[in-house]
């Protein structure tokens, strides 16, 4: 009877987990010599899968995010653009690009059976781009970029009701640290985004310039970060529903040695370096957590306009003054930016700027983008139409000259639209054989 009940329990556990839309498993292949797979890990993974991921890494230094849903098992290695799919008892690389990647620390997730990645860093550059893997093309499509979050470090992430939430962390600009007190929200259905101020501003004393995250995760409406620095270590928790921050002692001292982590949105199940299971639920996470931060007024900012409500004549006058100052600054900024379309920059500053832009373009390698999407990648979307065209042309020439010399091929190609030859699109990366007749010289 005992064996029958045990079998029944495992059966119910298995059917319950498989009823979930997806699960995510983090595998750190350099943490332990051997792993004994236990429930629920052994319901998805095999020793052959783990050994296959070990072989992908030229040396034992890989951190893989493995996604499992009802139709597929795919894996992405931290810092690389390669996407592996488990088929016929082996991992198949679906990525056809030539660029290895530089998005270390990216937030990788599966939405409606498609793989997305946000942010990351590499080559001394932090990016704020959301990209999606295009399996048929074998490359990544550029979706959108949160311009206000450029150069953000160690943010918190969660996906709630078809929306990607990004908050916390800090901006690193010229070695100056500025805490991020806003939340970016991207609707994954239409890719529209808006920025809102957090009602709780985190005390700057908890944001140390040299801190780094050992571990991060999300449960329900919460996201947490295991923060380490030479002077302090703590667990930072954020509630996306009310904007409140919390601090508590760390759950485990050995996060860094955790080889397997199971995530289904409701709980974490961890296999530690001694092959023991540890469970983390919202209740366990919040036990002993203390709220921190200072309340501040909330303000929503859309990507197209600011939504402000005024209740008095004084606030209207203040708003008019602020708008006038803002327009003057923006006008001066546009004049300064537009001058780049005709002025020749110094060789050093232009070179540094081109390298930064190329690092962003390489993420979208292998994809076809519209002129508007290319302008976002080139960071010239705020220019006037004529200046934008001139600057776009100038930057494409500089980028192609650089990549032809350093990589052996031009990175950006102007192509006529297949359906209407009057329109132009841009191919990022090497041209395919069937695209050569669409080149617009």
Per DSSP, the residues of 175-243 read TEEEE--EEEEEETTT--EEEEE-SEEPPGGG--TT-EEEEEEEETTEEEEEEE-SS-EEEEEEETTT-
Residue 110 belongs to domain with CATH number: 2.120.10
pLDDT at 14: 40
Which has the higher per-residue pLDDT, 264 or 5? 264
What is the pLDDT confidence band of residue 140, given thresholds at 50, 70 and 90? very high
User: In this structure, are 228 and 372 located in the same domain?
Assistant: no
305 falls within a domain? no
Do 246 and 98 have their domain in common? yes
Same domain, 150 and 232: yes
Structural element, H or E, at residue 398: helix 385-406
Question: What pLDDT is recorded for position 379?
Answer: 84
Question: Stretch 56-75: mean pLDDT, rounded?
Answer: 85
Is pLDDT above 70 for 256? no
**With 70 as the cut, is the pLDDT of residue 335 above it?**
no
pLDDT at position 97 over 60: yes
Cα 407 vs. chain centroid, distance in angstroms? 26
179 C-beta neighbours (distance < 10 Å), count: 14
Share of the chain above pLDDT 70, in %: 74
Confidence label for 67 from pLDDT (cuts 50, 70 and 90): very high
Confidence of residue 343 (pLDDT cuts 50, 70, 90): very low
CB 41 within 8 A of CB 26: no
The pLDDT confidence band at residue 60, using thresholds 50, 70 and 90, is low
361 touches 131 (CB < 8 A): no
Residue 132 CA to residue 143 CA, distance in Å, equals 7
Q: How many of the other CB atoms lie within 10 Å of CB of 43?
A: 16
Residue with tokens 């699109």: 425
Residue 189 has pLDDT above 60, yes or no: yes
Any domain includes 321: no
| Digit-coded pLDDT (tens) for 278-291 | 898 999 999 999 99
Peptide bond into 40 cis (omega under 30): yes
348 in any annotated domain: yes
19, pLDDT greater than 70: no
Q: Is residue 404 part of a domain?
A: yes
Q: Residue 316: inside a domain, yes or no?
A: no
With respect to residue 130, please indicate whether it lies within any of the assigned structural domains: yes
Residue range of the domain that includes 411: 344-438
Specify the pLDDT at position 231: 73
Tell me how far apart the alpha carbons of residues 216 and 40 are, in angstroms, rounded to a whole number.
20
- Residues 128 and 145 sit within 8 Å (Cβ to Cβ): yes
Q: What is the pLDDT of residue 237?
A: 93
Q: Average pLDDT for residues 388-400, to the nearest whole number?
A: 88
Listed in sequence order, the residues at least 6 apart from 97 whose beta carbon sits closer than 8 Å to its beta carbon are 81, 138, 139, 140, 365, 366, 429
25-29, 120-124, 249-253 — which is least confidently predicted? Answer: 120-124
Dist. CA 112–CA 275, nearest whole Å = 32
Q: How confident is the model at residue 224 (pLDDT cuts 50, 70, 90)?
A: very high
SS3 string, 296-330, reads: CCCCEEECCCECCCCCCHHHHHHHHHHHHHHHHHH
pLDDT tops 80 at residue 61: no
What's the whole-number mean pLDDT along residues 329-333? Answer: 47
State the chain's mean pLDDT as an integer: 78
Q: Alpha-carbon distance 82 to 140, whole Å?
A: 10
Predicted pLDDT of residue 313: 40
Residues 119 and 216 in one domain: yes
Tell me, yes or no, whether 283 and 195 share the same domain: yes
What DSSP assignment string belongs to 42-70? Answer: GGT--HHHHHHHHHHSSSS--EEEEEEES
Does 254 lie in the same domain as 182? yes
Note whether 426 and 279 are same-domain residues: no
**pLDDT above 90 for 342:** no
355/253 same-domain check: no
Task: Tell whether 157 and 224 lie within a shared domain.
Answer: yes
User: Are 252 and 356 within one domain?
Assistant: no
The pLDDT value given to residue 338 = 35
Spatial distance between the Cα atoms of 294 and 86, rounded to a whole number of angstroms: 48
Answer with the residue of higher pLDDT: 290 or 32: 290
Residue 97 in any domain: the answer is yes
* Rounded average pLDDT over 210-215: 68
pLDDT band at 232 (very low <50, low <70, confident <90, very high): confident
Task: State how far the Cα of 120 lies from the Cα of 361, in Å rounded to an integer.
Answer: 14
Domain boundary residue, one of 238, 270, 295:
295
Q: What is the pLDDT of residue 52?
A: 92
Could you give the 3-state DSSP secondary structure of residue 20?
A: coil
Q: How many domains does the chain have?
A: 2
1 assigned to some structural domain: no
Mean pLDDT of 19-43: 81
Q: Which helix (H) or strand (E) is 404 found in, with range?
A: helix 385-406
Is the per-residue pLDDT at 331 higher than 60? no
Q: Say yes or no to pLDDT of 257 above 90.
A: no
Mean pLDDT within 311-326 = 48
Is pLDDT of 435 > 50? yes
Where is average pLDDT lowest: 77-81, 176-180, 386-390? 176-180
One domain for residues 283 and 391: no
* Residue that wins the pLDDT comparison between 210 and 237: 237
* Same structural domain, 277 and 414: no
Q: Is the pLDDT of residue 65 over 90?
A: yes
pLDDT exceeds 60 at position 304: no
């Amino acid at each position: 009877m005992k064996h029958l009940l045990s079998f029944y329990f495992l059966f119910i556990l298995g059917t319950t987990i498989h009823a979930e839309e997806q699960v995510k498993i983090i595998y750190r292949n350099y943490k332990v010599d051997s792993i004994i797979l236990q429930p629920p890990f052994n319901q998805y993974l095999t020793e052959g899968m783990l050994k296959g991921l070990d072989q992908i890494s030229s040396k034992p230094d890989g951190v893989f995010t493995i996604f499992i849903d009802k139709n597929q098992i795919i894996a992405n290695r931290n810092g690389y653009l390669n996407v592996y799919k488990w088929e016929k008892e082996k991992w198949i690389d679906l990525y056809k690009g030539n660029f290895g990647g530089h998005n270390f620390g990216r937030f990788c997730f599966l939405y409606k059976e498609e793989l997305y990645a946000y942010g990351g860093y590499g080559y001394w550059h932090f990016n704020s781009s959301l990209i999606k893997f295009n399996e048929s093309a074998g490359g990544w499509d550029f979706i959108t970029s949160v311009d206000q979050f450029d150069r953000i470090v160690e943010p918190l992430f969660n996906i709630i009701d078809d929306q990607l939430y990004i908050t916390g962390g800090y901006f690193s600009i010229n070695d100056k640290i500025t805490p991020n007190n806003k939340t970016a929200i991207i609707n994954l259905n239409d890719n529209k985004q808006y920025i809102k101020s957090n009602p709780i501003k985190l005390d700057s004393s908890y944001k140390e310039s040299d801190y780094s995250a050992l571990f991060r995760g999300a449960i329900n409406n919460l996201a947490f970060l295991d923060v380490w620095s030479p002077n302090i270590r703590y667990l930072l928790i954020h509630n996306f529903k009310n904007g409140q921050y919390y601090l508590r002692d760390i759950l485990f001292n050995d996060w860094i040695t955790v080889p397997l982590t199971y995530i289904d949105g409701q709980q974490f199940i961890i296999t530690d370096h001694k092959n023991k299971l540890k469970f983390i639920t919202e209740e366990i996470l919040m036990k002993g957590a203390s709220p921190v931060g200072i309340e501040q007024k909330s303000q929503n900012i859309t990507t197209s306009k600011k939504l402000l409500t005024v209740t008095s004549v004084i606030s209207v006058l203040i708003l008019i003054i602020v708008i006038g100052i803002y327009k003057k600054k923006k006008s001066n900024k546009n004049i300064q930016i537009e001058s780049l379309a005709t002025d020749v920059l110094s060789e050093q500053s232009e070179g540094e700027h081109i390298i930064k832009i190329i690092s962003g373009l390489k993420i979208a390698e292998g994809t076809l983008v519209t002129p508007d999407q290319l302008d976002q990648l080139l960071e010239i979307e705020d220019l006037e139409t004529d200046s934008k065209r001139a600057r776009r042309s100038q930057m494409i020439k500089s980028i192609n000259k650089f990549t032809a010399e350093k990589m052996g091929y031009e990175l950006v190609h102007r192509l006529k639209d297949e359906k209407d030859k009057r329109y132009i699109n841009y191919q990022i990366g090497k041209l395919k054989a069937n695209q050569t007749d669409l080149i617009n010289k």
